[in-house]
Amino acid sequence: MPFTIPAIDNITQPALAARLQHLLDNKTKPQGSLGRIEALAQRIGLILGNESPELQQPQLVVFAGDHGLAARGVSAYPSDVTWQMVENFLTGGAAVSVLARQHGIGLTVVDCGVRHDFAERPGLLIRKVAPGTADALESPAMTPLQCEAALCNGAAVLRGLPGNALLLGEMGIGNTSAASLLMSRLAGLDIVDCTGAGTGLDAQAVQRKLAILRQVLARHPGAQDPLAALAAFGGFEIATMVGAVLQAAQERRVIVVDGFIASAAVLVASALQPAVLQRCVFAHRSGERGHALMLAHLKAEPLLDLGLRLGEGSGAALAWPLLLSACAILREMASFESAGVSRQDEDRAHAATQA
């Protein structure tokens, strides 16, 4: 089944934006005193097209896949950790499992291309394109058909989930390398500025990783457009996430972007359809070297900066309560008029009449 890039409309709505700003300005507080929470409230209101937005049935999806390039030592952990962590997600022991439980967020794990056969069970969707991508130093990580299949899978997964908010998570040993390669190629940045320690490489190992990534970029000089770069550098979990992001954007769900790898998927999706970014809330600035530059390229201002670099969607889950609070402010906070509270300008006017 061929993948068609969905039409994603521009949701800039001046009239609704003005009404949302008026509502925020007239809450019982000095104007702008809730800082970026007010901007967040307006963004969610615009995405959902509602002056009283309510986030319903949030879904955190962890996209998992293995990378052929991992065999070259670009990660501090072996590839087996990918499937072992998927099991950890499913048994509820991972950080993102704990946070999803705490905040009442639905958690789904998608096997996009893990080199392991899982038993089917609740909470797991098996959408395996292949058992891991190819080594991108020898060939494209994915064939065009494999890349297309992963994109289709992501869109289909999203269509099968309820709610109006998607939180992005991922798992895949070696996927910081894929994200660095995508960032370098699509953002036009030197690979050295896009490459960090990933799962915890020491300085010497980072230099080895950097040398390998330079070779991979040189191996695929023609992979310049977003889908060609995605196929060349991988991985299955990133491509599946791109499909889900495009579908979520078309459906006007709020997309909560986690860290470096999730941002790389959004980078690809927004290169295909720029209006994707209007639907995104960036949860945090990660400790991974390239993430700050990635966010700057996307003109994104993250909500948190806690030095996180776990992935899994953990940062998205930690930021989630801020989105709920922003919506509650719009829906529930009293206006000066409804609360019978005098405004500063009214007090000044009253003082002037008494002078």
Q: For 81-132, how does the pLDDT look when each residue is reduced to its tens digit (9 = 90+)?
A: 999 999 999 999 999 999 999 999 999 999 999 999 999 999 999 999 999 9
* Range name among 21-30, 81-90, 198-207 with the lowest pLDDT average: 198-207
- Summarize pLDDT for 247-301 with one digit per residue, the tens: 999 999 999 999 999 999 999 999 999 999 999 999 999 999 899 999 999 999 9
Give yes or no for a contact between 257 and 266, defined as CB atoms under 8 angstroms apart.
yes
Residues 6 or more apart whose CB falls under 8 angstroms from that of 109 comprise 61, 62, 64, 86, 89, 90, 123, 124, 125, 171
CA distance 9 to 273: 9
pLDDT of residue 198: 80
Per-residue tokens: 89: 């997600």
Going by C-alpha positions, the residue among 294, 286, 281 that lies closest to residue 320 is: 281
pLDDT for residue 164 is more than 80: yes
Res 348: pLDDT: 55
Mean local confidence (pLDDT), 155-176 = 98
Rounded Cα gap, residues 65 and 353, in angstroms: 70
Separation of first and last alpha carbons in the chain? 77
Secondary structure in 3-state letters for 107-127: EEEEEEECCCCCCCCCCEEEC
Tokens of 189: 């940045």
Residue with tokens 């030197």: 190
Task: Report the pLDDT value the prediction gives residue 350, as an integer from 0 to 100.
Answer: 46
Q: Which fold has domain 59-320?
A: Rossmann fold (3.40.50)
Q: Which amino acid is at 168?
A: L
Give the number of other CB atoms < 10 A from CB of residue 62. 32
How high is the mean pLDDT of the chain?
A: 95
Cis peptide before 235 (omega within 30 of 0): yes
**94 CB burial (10 A radius; 0-12, 13-18, 19+):** buried
Give the Cα separation of 172 and 170 in Å (integer).
7
- Extract the tokens encoding 319: 């930021």
Say how far apart CA 196 and CA 210 lie, in whole Å.
Answer: 9
Count of all residues that appear for the chain in the document: 355
Rounded distance, CA 228 to CA 144, Å? 8
The domain ranges of the chain are 14-54+329-354, 59-320
Q: At the topology level of CATH, where does 14-54+329-354 sit? A: 1.10.1610
Contacts of 251 (CB under 8 A, 6+ apart): 158
Consecutive H or E run containing 349? helix 344-354
CA distance 55 to 6: 23
Give catalytic residue positions: 312
